[in-house]
Structure 1
Amino acid sequence: MPTWEMLNREQHVALRVSRACDATRHFAQIVADEFPRAAPYYPILFTKHPETGAFYAGVVMGLEPGDNLLTVDGALPDYRPADLERQGFFVNDGQIVIDREHAGFAGARGEAVFDSDGEPTLALKRVQQALHTLQEGIPATDDAIKRFLVHGLLEPIDVTLNFDDGNPLRLDGLYTISLDALHALPDAAVLELFRAGDLQLAYAQTGSLRHIRTLGRIRNARLSDGRA
């Protein structure tokens, strides 16, 4: 069970947060506002929550659980999704709480959360912004996904990659926006999606799928080097 503690400068003056646990995250949830920032670097796909069956969006950073193919020296070199930025931090009754057992707090090499005067550091300010992004963005993203579903725009995507070792890898349970279905919508529906900002999301998401091939190339190179 998590060990929850309300974040405060007196108790957590020596707390440090590390990005090293990014290396074990192959998938991270993102919200609609993050699509334009994430699309240049990651494939964005939809999947279903295992408990509720509700759709949510996320970025794929690895092809197997526990293995992030995009980290360099343990950290992501490009856009870091809010879900990773806030690892170990949560909001409860309007207050920031932390899970002291989270891997993001392990070791002493991370960034300090409070400075010597007890004021929030840049690291903590990034966490605060990430929590705000998720808190505001998840309901808005849920609404956008509902509109995609109403118009029949989400469809399963077949992601099967072949590698030089002869062992193919298939990713299941992922969905994409169907551009064919989108382009077949009546003008009134397209105008509705445009005014809601959903068309930008649709084209950012579908355009990001090219990065799946990048992940495949990275994994294949690791296989050749004996690192996978």
Structure 2
Amino acid sequence: MDLELLNARDHTGLRQADLPAEGPHFVQIVAAEFAAAAATCPIFLTKNPDTGQFYAGALFGFEPGENLLAGDAPGRRAFVPLDLERQGFFLAPGGAIAIDPGHPRFGAGRGAALFEADGQPSQALRRIQHVIAQLNAGVPETDAFIQALVAQRLVEAIDIDLSFDDGRSVSLGGLYTVSLDALAELEDAAVLALFRRGYLQLAYAMAGSLKQVSILAHLRNDRLAA
């Protein structure tokens, strides 16, 4: 992948197409997204296969390429993670933005322009700049939250086994959540420290989001019936 620094001179006519309806079934998110994510999909921790470090992600489906929230799911407000919004865009040294010119969202020749006629960033590009800034700040903040959970032994593995109306079964492994039992056993001082840092709210958002697993399963069965 060869990146190019984004600039009005070389990319004056560049447009970004809308994101495809289908996409990854598990997408990394940052702590600032937990509240919005938990209202529509489950949040889990998993381990980066290259580093072995935990990161947080939102689950949209049970198999690669499956997004059960795509389209018009009745009563469901779409949640689009920042990491999806910034597809094709990257943070370069010095705070500049780089692009992957070979990314599919730039190859269609349609969509929102990135620069105005006078060379100034368009509204679409300003949104991307905001998204990348949020990610740049959010990733270390989320890492600190996860490290606090690990330090207090609040992370536990969770296995998800589901059966669907077409007779298929799905087992999801390598996922982790917050142990509310372990949280309840913490000393008051440790709980207060988590609360003061905003981590207690994030932990309960993660735990509460688990109810979305069964809702996603119902959405999948509805699709099968349709």
Give the TM-score range, shorter chain: over 0.9
CA contact (8 A) 2:44 2:59 kept: yes
How much does 1:9 deviate? 1.0
Tell me the residue number matched to 1:56: 55
- Aligned structure 1 segments of 4 or more residues deviating by more than 3 angstroms: none
Q: Distance in 2 between matches of 1:16 and 1:23?
A: 20
CA contact (8 A) 1:16 1:109 kept: yes
Q: Does residue 86 of the first structure (1) align with residue 107 of the second (2)?
A: no
SS in 1 for 2:90: strand
Q: Compute the RMSD of aligned alpha carbons.
A: 1.6
Matches within 5 A, 1:1-228: 2-21=1-20, 23-72=22-71, 78-94=78-94, 95-225=96-226
How much does 1:182 deviate? 0.5
Q: Distance in 1 between matches of 2:212 and 2:31?
A: 18
Q: TM-score, normalised by structure 2?
A: 0.92
The one-letter code sitting in structure 2 at the alignment partner of 1:64 is: E
Q: Distance in 2 between matches of 1:77 and 1:188?
A: 37
In structure 2, stretches of 5+ residues that fail to align are none
How much does 1:77 deviate? 5.4
Identity of aligned residues (%): 50
CA contact (8 A) 2:25 2:65 kept: yes
Report the number of matched residues.
222
CA contact (8 A) 2:69 2:78 kept: no
SS in 2 for 1:173: strand
Q: Distance in 2 between matches of 1:18 and 1:170?
A: 34
CA-to-partner distance for each residue in 1:120-162, whole Å, 9 max, x for gaps?
1221111111111111111111111011001111111121111
CA-to-partner distance for each residue in 1:73-113, whole Å, 9 max, x for gaps?
8xx95232110111110011121000111222231332221
